[in-house]
Amino acid sequence: MKQYDVIVVGAGHAGIEAALAAKRMGASVLVLTIHLDMIGHMPCNPAVGGIAKSHLVFEIDALGGEIGFATDKTGIQFKMLNRKKGPSVWSLRAQVDRADYRSYMKKKIMESVDVKQGEVVEILTEGEKVIGVKTKTGTEYYSKTVILTTGTFMQGLVHIGMVRFSAGRLGEPPSTGLSDSLKKLGFELGRLKTGTSARADGRTIDFSKMEIQPGDENPEHFSHRTVEFNPPQIPCYLTHTTPETHEIIRKNIALAPLYAGVIKGIGPRYCPSLEDKVMKFPERGKHHVFVEPDGRDTNEYYLNGVSSSLPEEIQLKFMRTIPGLEQVEFLRPGYAIEYDFVFPTQLRHSLETKKIQGLFLAGQINGTSGYEEAAAQGIMAGINAVLKIRGEEPFVLRRDEAYIGVLIDDLVTRGTKEPYRMFTSRAEYRLILRQDNADERLARYGVKYGLVDKTLLEKVEERRKRVDELLKKMKRIVVSPGKINISKPASLFHILKMPEFHFEDIYKFLDEEVPHDVAFRVEIEAKYDGYIQRAIAHAKKLKEMERVKIPEDIDYSKIRTITMEAREKLSRERPETLGEASRISGVSPSDIFALYVYIKRKEEE
């Protein structure tokens, strides 16, 4: 049997990015998937990006990942969200053609690495080190590292009303043996729940009763590799639920498996089912429903915002109370799914498990929700699996470097008991972690690990040089009140900081051609200068703390200067640095200071 460097279990967004990253770094890779034809499938709405999630996509792209480029190739609508707010929360969102996206990803993965269909039921180990996997048919595959990206498949259980059956996704078999294998290895598992909306037949929708939601006229794209970008802009539509919709749900709530006590897993707080929204927010008279096309060549539409696990006939009944959906017919009903996940505090920041060397986890198995969160973990796991084989230091992004750093740090140090979703509010350094500067922050890592061509870094560095030169020039050029509407002489830089002025207002004073991408960044850095400088200073302090390593053999029970709660949590989580320790819930700043003093005293001894 062939020996691989990396085996990836699963071929969703996390598995694809993990496999491709490892391959780009020169590793031999095998991907094992339950269903070959569902590689890269989008089981929920066919969209990429959105609030904070777009930041992850841009970061993955800067590291050489595939999700952004695939979205640009197969997208059918692109729209920048949050334009009325500051640029740190601007977020690109794209509808994609579900079938085209899956086809693109399948072709990409199958021409890049070895792929086999098979259900993995056991992790093979020698002592505390992974050596491979075993499938349901008894076939064993051997490798130096294994990356689990199982999505919702581990002990997956689909619910539609009181009907329930085992499935990884509707129409696909679950993974039934892997949970037991992980438990035998000593991992603690939990149970989560998520859901998806019904798919409607577009021929039965009256779009004239809905508000059209067009894409941007001059849309932006995700990937640095994309050229000649001119996607078809197929519109989405907006409608809303009604009091009659809510009344039907309230009358039938006993048939919702979550409310009937049938579902034990914890659902997503930030993407609840419609029955959850109706019951928890009774004061709301209506909720938005986004009607989104599934692709160019299909009548299938995704009904975003009305995820439900009520019986199919009840779903159809309440859907027909929504304007434009009075005659709607389903192609597929909505459903809820329960699945096993591994509590992510059992991982290192490299996404390697603490218990088993060479075993990495990425995606929904770590308690996250969303394609983008999965893809972000996947690329990091793929990179770190190869670095593990090489005996090199793991690649860990700090919270001030990337949303990916925030995501993984939150999971590993704080854990999660519900599906984790990325938001801009989770990133304390969001002013310096914008989607527009992801390449500036991360391209050097992409080049370092052989994931992107060095020409990208050269381009980024040249743009940065132009921005810095222009900012210096603007600080030198002083303009009098007669030439622009100001009360006293001021530098162009100071003028641009004023909310009423924009780059086009001062452009005539520069006497040089300025590319749009340079002008855009100059204006951001001028307008948010004070905030950005404070964020950078704070990040510098964080970096200093992150460097303070905690000895692996430290005995927290002997440190009487920290609280009992802190001793218990530090003993359980085993953080590697003071920075990690500081983000564990229940560990106070005074505990961190006491721990710092203890470490330094031990070093002196």
Residue with token string 């002025």: 501
**pLDDT of the residue at 115:** 98
pLDDT confidence of residue 542: 67
- Identify which of 564, 562, 558 has the alpha carbon closest to the alpha carbon of residue 590: 562
Instruction: Specify whether the backbone of 348 is left (phi greater than 0), alpha (psi in -120 to 50) or beta.
Output: beta
The Cβ of residue 280 has, within 10 Å, a number of other Cβ atoms equal to: 9
Mean pLDDT of 163-192: 93
Given this model, what pLDDT does residue 602 score?
Answer: 83
Of 66-75, 207-216, 275-284, 450-459, the range with the lowest mean pLDDT is 275-284
Q: How much of the chain, in percent, has pLDDT values that exceed 90?
A: 74
Q: Of 183, 600, 583, which Cα lies nearest the Cα of 411?
A: 583
In whole angstroms, what is the distance from residue 157 CA to residue 167 CA?
5
pLDDT tens per residue, range 67-104: 999 999 999 999 999 988 888 889 999 999 999 999 99
Give the per-residue pLDDT at 77. Answer: 97
Q: Encoding tokens for residue 137?
A: 């048919």
| Bridge partner residues of 153 (DSSP) | none
Q: Are 452 and 64 in contact (CB under 8 A)?
A: yes
- Please check the confidence at residue 8 and state whether its pLDDT lies above 90: yes
Q: Hey, what domains does the chain have and what are their CATH numbers?
A: 3-193+339-448 (3.50.50.60), 454-535 (1.10.10.1800), 547-604 (1.10.150.570)
Backbone angles phi and psi of 112, in degrees to 5 = -105, -40
pLDDT above 90: residue 240:
yes
pLDDT digits (tens, 9 = 90+) for 400-450: 899 999 999 889 988 898 999 998 888 888 888 999 999 999 999 999 999
The per-residue pLDDT for 477 is 94
Rounded CA gap, 404 and 192, in Å?
A: 22
DSSP 172-216: BPPB-SHHHHHHHTT--EEEEEEEE--EEEGGG--GGGSEEE---
pTM of the model: 0.90
Strands 335-342 and 157-160: antiparallel
Residue type at position 536:
I
Instruction: Tell me the C-alpha distance between 265 and 258, whole Å.
Output: 9
DSSP 57-73: HHHHHHTT-SHHHHHHH
**What mean pLDDT comes out for the span 265-273?**
75
